[in-house]
Amino acid sequence: MNTTLLIEALVRQTMVLIATLATSAGGRAPLAGVANQVFADLVAELKSRRLGNKVIADMFGMAMRTYHYRMARLAESATERGRSVWEAVLGYVHENGTVLRTEVLRRFERDDAEVVRSVLRDLVDSRLLYRTGRGDATAYRTAVDEPAERGDDSGALRHLLLVALHRLGPIGRDELARQVPVSEPVLSVLLDQLVSEGRVQRSEDQGSLRYHHTSLLIDYGNSEGWQAALFDHYQAMVSAMCTKLRTGHARADAADHVGGSTYHFDLWPGHPLEHEVLGLLSEGRARARALCERVQQVNDELAPDNAAGSRRVIAYVGQTVLQDEEALDEDA
């Protein structure tokens, strides 16, 4: 199997999803830092699989010096805790309009000066900052439009937290903050609200507070929960793929408990089976929802205090309909 080709194909499809989200409803979501975040998260995931820095640098085609500098730029700033050096420098310039390089270096004197200079070069090369002047007179200013003010998105964030807690809990605040990209103050407020409402359970484990959410339902017509539902669906699909890959099985069996299947139906207007095919999604949803309710009822009544060896089964149902012109675009 040519793994490299498969990785490239999956990356392209993920980029299609991100680009569609970034431009949905005519909006322009700011993407500054996305590439850096992808790099940092991928490195962290590779390290969790016991790969060393030299191997990871080779996988990216980077010299060790280049790799270490990029990691340093994305590490937490010693000046502004909770933000990478890259984020902190960009935020500082954005907040202050035009600033001199000497002012930036003075502001981030707790960070390595060469790393800060490297971040400034990177931001200019990425066209996120404009640079004018030379030497001590070098000045920087923001090169992108200020993002439009967002409305109150606390409802959407609450749903996203519930999905993350249901998937990963019990979990501490620090780990949750790494999974859901919101500031610590906002995270604390939303968590406290959800706990006080009884929607999130809080427990103490060896002196550390941990949070979890036992039952999750994002109902039809919920305009605040669609983003969380999309995230949940995507992670369910990715989890199934990753679990399948870890088993080492490069084929499917009819009796599999882990995996997925995709079916394509070509229909013309008035096709005698059109209604049956188009109804697959609603039929699958109705069956799965009824089963979820039955399982939850059994769990509430019969679950033992210590259910050793318990398993979570994650099933997902998806369907799309492509018109002729859309199908041609996909084939092109």
pLDDT in tens, 51-77: 999 999 999 899 998 888 788 877 888
Contacts for 221 with CB less than 8 Å, ≥ 6 apart: none
Rounded percentage of the chain residues whose pLDDT exceeds 70: 90
Tokens 């990356």 appear where? Answer: 11
pLDDT at 151 over 60: no
Q: Is residue 89 part of a domain?
A: yes
Task: Give the angle 119-43-180 at the CA atoms, nearest 5°.
Answer: 85
Hey, is 43 helix, strand or coil?
helix
| Same domain (yes/no): 49, 106 | yes
Hey, is 192 helix, strand or coil?
helix
| Same domain (yes/no): 158, 248 | yes
Q: What is the mean pLDDT of residues 208-220?
A: 81
Q: What is the mean pLDDT of residues 141-151?
A: 56
Q: Is residue 4 part of a domain?
A: no
| Same domain (yes/no): 248, 280 | no
| Same domain (yes/no): 200, 279 | no
| Same domain (yes/no): 269, 211 | no
Going by the DSSP 8-state scheme, the letter that residue 208 receives in this structure is E
Which band of pLDDT confidence, cut at 50, 70 and 90, is reported for residue 294? Answer: very high
| Same domain (yes/no): 131, 159 | no
Q: What is the mean pLDDT of residues 87-94?
A: 87
pLDDT at 146 over 60: no
| Same domain (yes/no): 224, 279 | no
Which band of pLDDT confidence, cut at 50, 70 and 90, is reported for residue 148? Answer: very low
* 150 vs 43: which has the higher pLDDT: 43
pLDDT at 226 over 70: yes
pTM over 0.75: no
Q: Is residue 129 part of a domain?
A: yes
Residue 142 phi, psi dihedral angles, 5° rounding: -65, 135
Nearest to 222 by CA among 173, 141, 159, 139: 159
| Same domain (yes/no): 159, 134 | no
- Distance CA(211)–CA(163), nearest Å, equals 12
Going by the DSSP 8-state scheme, the letter that residue 151 receives in this structure is -
Task: Work out the angle between the directed axes of helices 226-247 and 154-168 (0-180°, nearest 10).
Answer: 20
pLDDT of residue 34: 74
pLDDT in tens, 171-181: 888 788 777 76
Nearest to 60 by CA among 112, 7, 126: 7
* 189 vs 36: which has the higher pLDDT: 189
pLDDT of residue 324: 65
Q: Is residue 74 part of a domain?
A: yes
Tokens 């971040």 appear where? Answer: 119
Query: What CATH number should be reported for the domain holding residue 191?
Result: 1.10.10.10
Q: Give me the domain span that covers residue 241.
A: 154-253
Distances from the Cα of 173 to the Cα of 33, 79, 108, 161, angstroms: 23, 22, 27, 11
- Distance CA(135)–CA(15), nearest Å, equals 39
Domain end among 218, 236, 253: 253
Q: Is residue 19 part of a domain?
A: no
pLDDT of residue 102: 92
pLDDT of residue 227: 81
pLDDT of residue 21: 78
Give the range with max mean pLDDT: 100-104, 187-191, 199-203: 100-104
Q: Which amino acid is at 222?
A: N
**Per the structure, how many domains does the chain have?**
3
Q: What is the mean pLDDT of residues 126-146?
A: 80
pLDDT in tens, 7-64: 888 888 888 888 887 777 666 666 766 777 788 888 988 998 889 999 999 998 999 9
Q: Is residue 10 part of a domain?
A: no
pLDDT of residue 278: 95
Long-range interactions of 17-26: CB distance < 8 A, separation 24+: 17/234
Going by the DSSP 8-state scheme, the letter that residue 224 receives in this structure is T
pLDDT of residue 328: 44
Which band of pLDDT confidence, cut at 50, 70 and 90, is reported for residue 152? Answer: low
Q: Is residue 304 part of a domain?
A: no
Q: What is the mean pLDDT of residues 290-306?
A: 85
- Distance CA(160)–CA(175), nearest Å, equals 15
pLDDT in tens, 239-286: 888 888 888 777 888 888 888 889 999 999 999 999 999 999 999 999
| Same domain (yes/no): 275, 215 | no
Q: Is residue 26 part of a domain?
A: no
| Same domain (yes/no): 116, 214 | no
| Same domain (yes/no): 37, 136 | yes
Weakest-pLDDT range from 26-30, 220-224, 320-324: 26-30
